[in-house]
Amino acid sequence: MTQLVGWVSAPNIRGTISLIHGCLATIIICTWNALHLNIPADKDSVSRKVLRHIQWMVIGILAPELVSMSALRERPPAALMVNPVRSDVSPKSWTLTHAQYVNMGGFSLVFSNDSRYRLNAPQFLALLSNDCIKLPRISERDIQDKSNADSFQKTFACLQIGWFLSYVASRAIQQLPVTTLELFTVGFISCTFFTYGGWWHKPKDVDVPTDIHTHDTFESLQTLLGEHTNRYQEPRIRIGIMDNLGSDRTGMGIFKLVLILPMLTFGASHLLGWNTHFNSKIETILWRTCSIGCLSLPLVIFVVSQLSTVRKMRSASIAVFMPEVLYICLRLYLVVEVFLGLRKVPSAVYDDVHWTQFVPHLGS
């Protein structure tokens, strides 16, 4: 006779593959949803767009703090466009979504000969203030409609993040060991919050810009645009993420301190592994040293850059360059160590937390 059973609980254990899968799934989901790239060039091929996204995915996975800093640096130029202080040139009815849309190359200037020129934010404001173009009639809803941001994807990403943080916290409360890979993922998530904050109002994956027509020629507007070349008329040239950064340096001294917050939180997450098990004394020392370095070097870079700005030191580039190179080296070691550390771990690492099997997630 066939034996019948009722509810059967899963073993209170996880495997190495599920541990790695849970961390990598969280990292990839966070990166994919957090990336808000600028609008591609008019004649970019599908493969070129995919390769660009993959390139930023790799950067986001290996150096999430870099993506976070890029997102944060886009925020002030966008805020200044809708700031009442600049109401003489800024559209009063516009929102941060409009401003971010301009920054990402959302408007393409179409000349009388049908040639196109992708406007950056300062050029757009210059043309608008000199009555060379009319304010485009595009609402925030219209821009969001062009965006490919999926509320389901964002919700799923938030659930995955919430589950992972709760899982790591539960292990700490129950005094179960947490691996360095999980701490790395926690640091990654902290950077994702900064990325979301910087790009919260930025449309996602917009493929085609909005046309603005003018009866002028490129030559007649060349001086106003501040261009001596037709770089944005080239078919494969687009407004890059770095093009509009620092276009207005008001308050940049204080803002630079905000910029290094992702680096600080990421470094601090590695310090949580101070007493984690390592397979050798050398690895323990290296992990602790690199964690301290990743936490302190951003402050060193900030102080040196500020002093060089105030005193106009010619050797500033070298003074800042050396700590940056050292920071990169320390970060690379930490990335390698989070995986090397899994070769031998305490058995309690694979003890699971019961409640996790009742919450939807990807991973162990």
d(CA 50, CA 131): 38
pLDDT tens across 9-39, in order?
556 678 888 889 889 999 998 898 889 998 9
pLDDT tens across 130-145, in order?
888 888 888 888 888 8
pTM of the predicted protein model: 0.80
What three-state secondary structure class fits 134? coil
Q: Which of 26-30, 53-57, 138-142, 313-317 has the lowest mean pLDDT?
A: 313-317
d(CA 211, CA 146): 14
Beta bridge partners of 267: none
| pLDDT reading at 318 higher than 80 | no
Domain limits, the chain = 16-345
| Average of per-residue pLDDT across 321-338 | 89
Pairing assessment for the beta strands 116-118 and 210-213 based on DSSP bridges:
unpaired
Ranked by mean pLDDT, the top range of 111-115, 203-207, 330-334 is 330-334
Average pLDDT of the chain is 80
d(CA 221, CA 224): 5
pLDDT tens across 91-150, in order?
667 888 888 998 888 888 888 787 888 887 778 888 888 888 888 888 888 888 887 766
| Average of per-residue pLDDT across 245-263 | 61
**C-alpha 163: how far from chain center:** 21
**C-alpha 364: how far from chain center:** 26
Pairing assessment for the beta strands 116-118 and 107-110 based on DSSP bridges:
antiparallel
